[in-house]
Copies of this chain bind each other. A is one copy, B any other.
């Protein structure tokens, strides 16, 4: 797709301070590749090629950067350049930049805007973070339902240059209430004398500006929409969520869920540019909680110390048992968290899901138990191997139930299901799994 080799050069050109070389490199690469390369550099280096961009491309590249990198670039710009850049940005991109910026940048940015742009930005910033309102574009061509197709096309041609998109056109009634949308294609292909009210798609999906942006993006994916109309609480049209934001939202939401699944907080910005301290901090909270939670495993082991001393071979299988239980539990949790995220499973499916996963756990347990039995019999003899095998079945079933129900319970109490991470499930299953293991040992071996 892109030639990876020639890309890396930019860093080298900047290191050598080869301005001609940098200019040439910039001319040969599209904005998104330039942005990608800038995100990999530290902020002091990134500003050098950025300053060498032409005015037009400067904006294009800037809009491709993630907010955290935009802030770094802004800090390296002179006042005029700073304000020009912000003035020209799309209102939704600008609102996001300012919403996530440190107070110093945010105040300076808002102060420098023209009244019209400031008003638009303030309106978007009035919506909650991560809501549709922060991502939608208010710059659209709005059509009244009483227009003819021919007249509507004239309006599009007259006002389209200022809109972010004209592919999906909102159609409103007298009170600016959304009547539906019309696709530009349908306008082009339909009879000039038709009225908009006869061609408008009134069944089109719509969302409130205060709803979560991720849900809106997933709806666009499901309904195959290039743009989704956004309304306020009185059904008045306020903006469009466009496909490029939907793509970005889905990718970002998945990145967040994936990070959370490993017990880490999501880190904003490019991996390569993230500092060691920031990476460590994002991962530390859960690790600290979990290592404290593992004290439970030490307690269980202590409680059964007498059993362990009588049958020392039992200790040998502790890592195998906790490892296997953790793996099964993580798989169940991961599957359910994802099914919830993409809308395949809902909270009220809990009993059905728990039952299904329990059966999956039993099935997997029997399969793994035969392997454990063989390994155990080979290494320490049949009696301990029997205990291990029975424990594997019980632990797998238990792990699948825990792993599948916890995300659903989290959602029910209003917590992001993705916090039910693989490490969390493993740790919980470790302690309870050992309890099961040693109890089975006592019963079967009579110690």
Residues of A within 8 A of B (CB): 1, 4, 8, 30-32, 36, 39-40, 64, 153, 156-157, 160-161, 165-167, 184-185, 188-189, 203, 205, 207, 211, 215-216, 218-224, 226, 243-244, 246-248, 250-251, 254-255, 257-259, 261-264, 270-272, 276-277, 279-280, 283-284, 286-288, 290-292, 294-295, 297-298, 301-302, 305, 308-309, 312, 315-320, 322-324, 326-328, 330-331, 333-336, 338-339, 342-346, 348-349, 352, 356, 359-360, 363-364, 367-368, 371-372, 375, 379, 422-423, 426-427, 430-431, 434
Contacts and interface: CB of A to CB of B under 8 A. Distances in A.
A272 B334 contact: no
A323 B258 contact: no
A277 B363 contact: yes
Contact of A328 (B30, B64, B287): B287
A379 B422 CA distance: 27
Given A221-B251, A360-B279, A292 B375 contact: yes
Contact of A258 (B207, B261, B318, B371): B261
A327 B272 contact: no
Contacts of A305: 312, 316
B222 A338 contact: no
Contacts of A160: 185, 188-189
A254 B223 CA distance: 19
Contact of A375 (B221, B258, B259, B295): B295
A215 B2 CA distance: 11
A219 B30 CA distance: 12
A318 B320 contact: no
Contact of A326 (B283, B326, B342, B431): B326
B301 A316 contact: yes
B271 A244 contact: no
A431 B322 CA distance: 13
B184 A331 contact: no
Residue from the set A259, A287, A302, A333 with the largest chain B CB neighbour count within 10 Å: A287
Interface of A is mostly: helix
Contacts of A8: 348
A316 B288 contact: no
B36 A343 contact: yes
Contacts of A279: 335, 356, 360
Contacts of A308: 312, 315
A368 B1 CA distance: 43
B290 A327 contact: yes
B320 A205 contact: no
25 contacts: A1-B216, A32-B223, A64-B222, A184-B184, A184-B188, A221-B251, A224-B244, A243-B247, A251-B342, A259-B334, A261-B334, A262-B335, A264-B335, A271-B335, A272-B344, A272-B352, A277-B363, A279-B360, A288-B371, A295-B320, A295-B375, A297-B320, A323-B326, A326-B423, A331-B423
5 closest A-B pairs by beta carbon, nearest first, are A262-B334, A297-B319, A294-B320, A271-B339, A254-B254
Given A218-B251, A276-B359, 8 more contacts: A4-B346, A221-B248, A250-B251, A272-B349, A290-B323, A290-B324, A292-B371, A327-B426
A303 to B, nearest CB: 10
Given A156-B188, A279-B360, A334 B294 contact: no
Contacts of A161: 189
A264 B371 contact: no
Contact of A298 (B188, B218, B379, B430): B379
Contacts of A32: 222-224
Contacts of A226: 167, 226, 243-244
